[in-house]
Structure 1
Amino acid sequence: MKILIADDHDLLRDTVVAFVEAAGAMSTVGVSDLDGALAALDETADFDLVLLDYNMPGMRGLDGLKQVLAHKVSPRVALISGEASRDVVHRAMAAGAAGFVPKTLPAKSLVNAIRFMAAGEQFVPADLLTEEAISTERHPIAQKLTKREMEVLQGLAEGKANKEIARDLDLSEPTIKLHVKNLYRKIGAANRTQAALIAREAELF
């Protein structure tokens, strides 16, 4: 099996490469960003799995995942990350990811997960499949907001207008405007774009 590992943290990438190769029956190529991963795919079409760091340069959230999935060689692609919301994991899987690997996994479990996905299966830790998984409530920003404000913020992060958010949440537009004003104050945002950027950088959705 041949694995492409893309992560901008040199130590972590080299450690994962060492673990995988020490397990035997797998060879690796390591790169530091999305452009490097795409270049490697252009040069070599026989990777059994591409493992992408969710937060590395060029990824832009799930855009990088989708870009690699759309590559002409149609690779199997999984995400690796130190932290991610349950919603991010589920959206990644819905987009076609082979799985999600937390960086907190023990070495043996990490290698087994990579081997599992490279063999054509999907891998997501069991706790990420439950409602209690890596909750956004752990993030300081999420702790400041009510459940409804979080729902409105998600709408902003998705680029929706107040009217669309009101329709989705079955609320009036004035009510949405009030929630927007309140969440701006709580998270320190000056406008919709900034609020969406804050939410995205915090990986709330």
Structure 2
Amino acid sequence: MSHRILIADDHPLMRTALTQTIGQAIPGAVILEASRFDQIKPVLDTGEPPDIILLDLHMPGMSGLIGLMMLRSEHPAIPVIVVSASEDPVTIQRAIDYGASGFVPKSAPNTQIVEAIHAVLDGELWLPEINGGPETDAPDPAQRAATLTPQQLRVLAGIAEGKLNKQIAYEMNVAETTVKAHVTTILRKLGVLTRTQAAVLASQLALSSAPPPPVE
């Protein structure tokens, strides 16, 4: 299956560089482009929206993180990787808090953007290692898990059992893309980056089996 990837950046050279990098690393990928924020919506509203968005926070019309929040609110199933010239931990953490699934500095090597794309397409979060990464005063695991919805807890239980997204989707009778969206939200709420870390945290909480469905 070929992936559709939207590059939203106002710098032509940056779009060209990303297009070449992705084309070499992900054969068959369909690259879409936008140079202003108002060009993104028409692409997302087509019958074939992208599988992932690479987003510059400072493109015309973005309004920084406000544009990111608007995208996540209107199209929650499409993951976003912020590709930014900013590298400070505060900006990185805010981007993740406001819905980004990944953050890649523009100064990063090409291999990092490819790693980030693969990780996010698999439903994981991806962050650069900059001064140890963004620091958070995260609550304990039980408090974090308490923020999950019943559906998200069922997905987390499946992750803890080592199940693939398609297996979890089959058992829950939902689309695999829905499970991927849940996984991304779960990682963000739990304050972890990978499924493995989420599974470890789930095992600590004895979430070894899916909770019963809510009573109608």
Quickly name the TM-score band, shorter chain normalised.
0.5 to 0.7
Residue 44 of structure 1 and its aligned partner are, at CA, apart by: 4.2
* 2-structure distance, mates of 1:35, 1:105: 27
Structure 2 residue 84 is matched with structure 1 residue 76: no
Label 1:35 to 1:108 Cα distance change in 2 as closer, same or farther (>3 A). same
Compare CA radii of gyration and give the structure with the larger one.
Answer: 1
* 2-structure distance, mates of 1:128, 1:114: 22
Residue 85 of structure 1 and its aligned partner are, at CA, apart by: 2.7
Label 1:71 to 1:18 Cα distance change in 2 as closer, same or farther (>3 A). same
Residue 118 of structure 1 and its aligned partner are, at CA, apart by: 2.1
Per the alignment, residue 9 of structure 2 pairs with 7
Residue 4 of structure 1 and its aligned partner are, at CA, apart by: 0.8
Whether the aligned pair in 2 keeps the contact of 1:45 and 1:73 (CA below 8 Å) is no
The alignment of Structure 1 onto Structure 2 pairs a total of residues equal to 132
Label 1:128 to 1:68 Cα distance change in 2 as closer, same or farther (>3 A). farther
Please state which structure has a larger fraction of its residues in helix: 1
Q: Which residue identity does 1:58 align to in structure 2? A: G
* 1-structure distance, mates of 2:84, 2:124: 19
Per the alignment, residue 32 of structure 2 pairs with 29
Per the alignment, residue 122 of structure 1 pairs with 125
Q: Which residue identity does 2:113 align to in structure 1? A: L
| TM-score (norm: length of structure 2) | 0.56
Label 1:66 to 1:128 Cα distance change in 2 as closer, same or farther (>3 A). farther
Q: Which residue identity does 1:40 align to in structure 2? A: V
* 1-structure distance, mates of 2:93, 2:131: 9
Whether the aligned pair in 2 keeps the contact of 1:7 and 1:53 (CA below 8 Å) is yes
Per-residue CA deviation, residues 133-179 of structure 1 (Å, 9 max, x unaligned), is xxxxxxxxxxxxxxxxxxxxxxxxxxxxxxxxxxxxxxxxxxxxxxx
* 1-structure distance, mates of 2:117, 2:57: 16
User: Following TM superposition, where does structure 1 have runs of at least 4 consecutive aligned residues deviating by more than 3 angstroms?
Assistant: 128-132
Question: Identity of paired residues, percent?
Answer: 34
Whether the aligned pair in 1 keeps the contact of 2:82 and 2:102 (CA below 8 Å) is yes
What are structure 2's unaligned runs of at least 5 residues?
136-216
Whether the aligned pair in 2 keeps the contact of 1:78 and 1:101 (CA below 8 Å) is yes
Label 1:131 to 1:12 Cα distance change in 2 as closer, same or farther (>3 A). closer
What secondary structure sits across from 2:82 in the alignment? strand
RMSD: 2.0
What are structure 1's unaligned runs of at least 5 residues?
133-205
* 2-structure distance, mates of 1:111, 1:56: 22
**Which is further off, 94-103 or 73-82?**
73-82
Label 1:44 to 1:63 Cα distance change in 2 as closer, same or farther (>3 A). farther
Residue 41 of structure 1 and its aligned partner are, at CA, apart by: 0.3
> How do 1:13-162 and structure 2 match up within 5 A?
13-23=15-25, 24-72=27-75, 74-127=77-130, 129-130=132-133
| TM-score (norm: length of structure 1) | 0.59
